Structure 1
């Protein structure tokens, strides 16, 4: 739901529709999450034994491979529960992939437009007006990542860096409010500065928990992202030189 902002340039009346989409998306996700956990607590006991036979004996605490949802469906539907859960995960995965594919490609496209990536990635399909090259780059990169480890390992590598960037984004809100007081602001930051500060606080706690419990993978993921810092400055420097050369040629012509 939060990646809808990546498609802001293609949204009709974004001043109104983006906040509405974010609000509805947050509400729906939270509602589904809370409802699902309520069902788990109604069906399964919270505590259990690691050597227990069956999902009821193991409970939520020792659910097989931490798959609480599967355990709950096995209690409700019997042996068919695991198959139903697998089908539900497949449906959810297809929807998630669709959203991430739609939103992620717009990031590479925007980088190319800003001169921070290959210019060809900023081209759109003449018929469908979609960032076709960017979509292909994303597809190849995703295929490569699937060969580097399991989903849980990839998630551990990326989540620390993702949350860190979320924190930096919110901190940027405070900075912009101070340095650009007269800037046009089509979107209102509801609850400012309390809600953004609360978010930074809780997100920082998540970062601390990740470093404490999954230090190696968190630091490894952060190092991978940190490699992009010198690449960014190098690319911006080269891009700036090319832009100045192009402008000089235009003036000479």
Structure 2
């Protein structure tokens, strides 16, 4: 097996990946639904969801700085929970991969829909079907990341800055055209609706948790990973909150709830050029999110293959590029299948649940770290221990209780499938042929 390539990621790269992974699904897709639930106060929902997630992320900062390796949530239980850690690690990694890895196929379809919407705006039709366009998009980004993560990383930086530029234009230009009458009453359906709206975007804030999965790519992971997570969450929380105010000030919230492209529709109320800019921003947002989750999702099964929890071929890297080609290929094939068959909508319903599952386990690892591994000194310590991890776990469970029952059912089914795979793989002779032997010397 060849040597892995030199580490190149910085805090800026991590910020771009985390921010890009959060922008797409949240502000361009969920914002209209949130407005329908909470009215203008949906802007406050963005901030509440970000604050809740920031508490959870602070726990991740400690555990990720203690074990800065590819695999993120999959690695932590194995390192801290002793004998039980292996099985818990597998289920955590399985849950994360199903939600943040394969589930990201929907972003390819989102990109296709925005491209079609943009072309229709200028009087040109999409030359191929949206499913075909989505498949081509997955192939392009999958191959780009297989060639070299620096290429995928460059795409990530460019697309993230392009999206932020489009959103800033919306904030400034749209803010000058806000009708304050549309913002009153600010909370027409009560504070409970604000919390309900927060659950709609909470899971889509999960893009930050993709950063620890890329720990092995960072120059200084112990410091850069926590910084990247916090910066990306603060960036998105503040930006989304402001956008929520502007959006609701441009169009009645009941109408926003009916729009498939709420930001573009809001921008169209004062200029067609603004609508085109936002539509382009939606394309870049989908691209940025797709690329970020494809990179991080593949690192999850790469780590599981390298550690011997899945077939060893998944844990190999290309000798020339240093990229986990097999893991990327499997992830790409799974996404292609979902995009082609239309199962993406079903997978998306479990994303929120399985992501919350992995977050809770990672927060529990903080306690296991302090108790079982006192010799490990993380570069970052969660503030107000043990109160913060307890609050993070309680908030995660509370958010899950606000989710749709179907999402909980499908998410539970995915975890049960993972348990079956674990039993078949680890309780039979298969594992003997799937463990990578350590190189001598």
Which residue in 2 is equivalent to 1:16?
A: 223
Q: Is the Cα–Cα contact under 8 Å of residues 259 and 265 in structure 2 kept in the other structure?
A: no
Query: Does structure 1 residue 139 correspond to structure 2 residue 139?
Result: no
Q: After the TM superposition, which residues 179-194 of structure 1 pair with which residues of structure 2 at under 5 Å, given as runs? A: 179-194=372-387
- 1:74 is aligned, of 268, 272, 295, to 268
Q: Secondary structure at the match of 1:171?
A: helix
Partners of 1:22 and 1:217 in 2: how far apart?
26
What per-residue deviation string (whole Å, max 9, x for no partner) do you get for residues 136-163 of structure 1?
Answer: 1110011112234365443212221111
Partners of 2:364 and 2:342 in 1: how far apart?
33
Q: 5+ unaligned residues in a row in structure 2: which ranges?
A: 1-17, 19-207
TM-score, normalised relative to structure 1: 0.79
Q: Offset at 1:82?
A: 5.1
Q: 5+ unaligned residues in a row in structure 1: which ranges?
A: 49-57, 248-253
Larger Rg: 1
What per-residue deviation string (whole Å, max 9, x for no partner) do you get for residues 27-73 of structure 1?
Answer: 21212211211212332344x4xxxxxxxxx3x4xx32465323321
Q: Is the Cα–Cα contact under 8 Å of residues 106 and 131 in structure 1 kept in the other structure?
A: yes
Partners of 1:98 and 1:240 in 2: how far apart?
31
Query: Does structure 1 residue 218 correspond to structure 2 residue 425?
Result: no
Partners of 2:271 and 2:287 in 1: how far apart?
24
Partners of 1:150 and 1:230 in 2: how far apart?
21
Partners of 1:172 and 1:94 in 2: how far apart?
33
Q: Offset at 1:129?
A: 0.8
Query: Does structure 1 residue 236 correspond to structure 2 residue 426?
Result: yes
Q: Secondary structure at the match of 1:92?
A: helix
Which residue in 2 is equivalent to 1:36?
A: 243
Q: Secondary structure at the match of 1:64?
A: coil
Q: What count of residue pairs does the alignment treat as equivalent?
A: 229
* Larger RCO, structure (CA 8 Å, separation 6 or more): 2
Q: Offset at 1:195?
A: 2.6
Q: Is the Cα–Cα contact under 8 Å of residues 247 and 263 in structure 2 kept in the other structure?
A: yes
Partners of 1:228 and 1:243 in 2: how far apart?
17
Q: Is the Cα–Cα contact under 8 Å of residues 312 and 434 in structure 2 kept in the other structure?
A: no
Q: CA RMSD in A?
A: 2.6
TM-score, normalised relative to structure 2: 0.47
Partners of 2:395 and 2:341 in 1: how far apart?
31
Q: After the TM superposition, which residues 3-152 of structure 1 pair with which residues of structure 2 at under 5 Å, given as runs? A: 3-46=210-253, 48=254, 58=255, 60=256, 63-65=257-259, 67-78=261-272, 83-149=276-342, 151-152=344-345
What per-residue deviation string (whole Å, max 9, x for no partner) do you get for residues 173-212 of structure 1?
Answer: 12332333343323322332233222222211211111xx
- 1:207 is aligned, of 400, 412, 434, to 400
Q: Offset at 1:242?
A: 5.0
Q: Is the Cα–Cα contact under 8 Å of residues 360 and 396 in structure 2 kept in the other structure?
A: yes
Q: Is the Cα–Cα contact under 8 Å of residues 157 and 217 in structure 1 kept in the other structure?
A: yes
Q: Is the Cα–Cα contact under 8 Å of residues 121 and 133 in structure 1 kept in the other structure?
A: yes
Q: Secondary structure at the match of 2:266?
A: helix
Q: Is the Cα–Cα contact under 8 Å of residues 350 and 411 in structure 2 kept in the other structure?
A: yes
Q: Offset at 1:86?
A: 3.0
